[in-house]
A and B are shown apart, each in its own frame.
Chain A
Amino acid sequence: MSFTYIMEILPSLFQGAGLTLQLFFWTLIGSLPLGIIVSLGLTSKIKPLKWVLEMYVWLMRGTPLLLQLIFVFYGLPIVGIVFQRYDAALVAFILNYAAYFAEIFRGGLQSISQGQYEGARVLRLSYWQTIRKIVIPQVVKIVIPSIGNEVINLIKDSSLVYVIGLGDLLRAGNVATSRDVTLVPLLLVGLIYLLMVGICTVILRWVEKRYSYYK
């Protein structure tokens, strides 16, 4: 395990890590807001909307993400919807993670007491003002630990994109390992994942602390 060998393969690993991170950030940016909207629908009184969204959550949580990736990339073209590899991965990840986030947010929403809504209502705040100013800030505090769990899972789940031929971190390591017949690249891959999760954990702790100003 020479130093020069490590320096030789690191650029390709970093390139793979770049794709992993891109996928990670765009998935979060897409799935967190979508998850909030879906959770509002899941807790709404409009029954048909609720049923449709429950169906969606069931579908997304009830089948493997790997299968969903395959369906979006290989299956949807059959009905005329064609995505590039990267876009297909993003669509599958956003839809899948939004479902998990929606369930977490739903739990948070249900823990906000009726009194908070009534307090806002008699002050004549509109529904959206109440959601934005009263409900969501309190829900965020409640759900941060569970969201953090999913966020960390997402970093590692992103490795599933190999199945539709995208070159992420794990794939870069795999390629080097089978070419050079050594486990060193995979060892490095493990270290890079650990580093990414470590940074994420620190950020999540910081966010949690920022919300600890009230009880």
Chain B
Amino acid sequence: MLEIKDLKKSFNGRQILNGVDLIVEDGEILSIVGPSGAGKTTLLRCITGLESADAGIFLIDGQPFDPQGTEESDAVIGVVFQDFNLFPHLSVLENITLAPMMVLKKSKDEANQKAAQLLEELGLTGLGDHYPYQLSGGQKQRVAIARALAMNPRILCYDEPTSALDPNLRDEVANLILSLKKEGMTQLVVTHDMDFANKIADKILKVQALDTKN
């Protein structure tokens, strides 16, 4: 269970997040929705440690963790970016195995085995030797998911998973996220697409723009 209490963040004196609370139960999908500029992405960036929060408590199963920390106990969040941010110079397989080998110090065999299993689960069998530029948008996204899952995160976070893809792929993404839920993955999805959120989410958190200048 991920629990965040009283998360605050401001940029240059402008309050973006003013005491956000959220809870994601194990195996649940939480969607964060709201108009652009409301701070959805900022919220996600604070949770994933890409931005430092001004204040707030982060708990995983009741244990505090630091999203920006480097301890093993801090490595609980996986991220699927809007533009995927795959490493273009590495093959699909290398994209997936790099961090497990360098950070978790897994052997090459072990990392490759896990990657092959993830590729199969995500319907990417046979694409291990391809490079990102050779993949379609949907395939890139699934590689990004595999790359994040290879680090055994407790929670998988998505930033606008539908916006870099063809509109007709929306249902495919929804099914993918729901199938990961069946596997027991806890997921947090930031989106501006209300229909999409309704389709996948167990809970929806609406973020409103704060227009207070301090």
List, in ascending order, chain B residues with CB within 8 A of A134's CB: 87, 89
Please give, as numbers and ranges, the residues of chain A lying within 8 Å of B132 by CB-CB distance.
214
The total of chain B residues at the interface (CB under 8 A) is 25
How far apart are the CA atoms of A79 and B173 in the complex, in Å?
69
Contact with B along A136-172 (1 / 0, CB 8 A): 0110010000000000000000000000000000000
Interface string of A94-123 (1 = CB under 8 A from B): 000000000000000000010110111111
Are the CB atoms of B89 and A214 closer together than 8 Å?
Answer: yes
Contact A123 B133 (CB under 8 A): no
> Do B81 and A123 touch across chains, with their CB atoms under 8 A apart?
no
Cβ–Cβ contact B88 & A119, under 8 A:
no
CA distance A129 to B102 in the complex (A): 8
Given contacts A118-B81, A215-B133, contact A125 B102 (CB under 8 A): yes
One digit per residue, 1 when the CB lies within 8 angstroms of any chain A CB and 0 when it does not, for chain B 66-84 equals 0000100001011101010
Chain B contacts with A in 97-156, Cβ cutoff 8 A? 98-99, 102-103, 131-133, 147-148, 151
B88 touches A215 (CB 8 A): yes
A47 CB–B CB distance under 8 Å: no
A124–B79 CA distance with the chains assembled, in angstroms: 11
A182→B30 CA distance, assembly (Å) = 86
Q: Is A213 an interface residue, CB under 8 A from the partner?
A: yes
B48-66 CB contact bits vs A (8 Å, 1 = yes)?
1110000000000000000
Interface residues, chain A, with chain B CB atoms under 8 Å away: 113, 115-116, 118-126, 129, 133-134, 137-138, 141, 213-215
9 A-B pairs with least C-beta separation: A119-B85, A123-B99, A115-B85, A122-B79, A215-B133, A214-B131, A124-B103, A137-B89, A138-B89
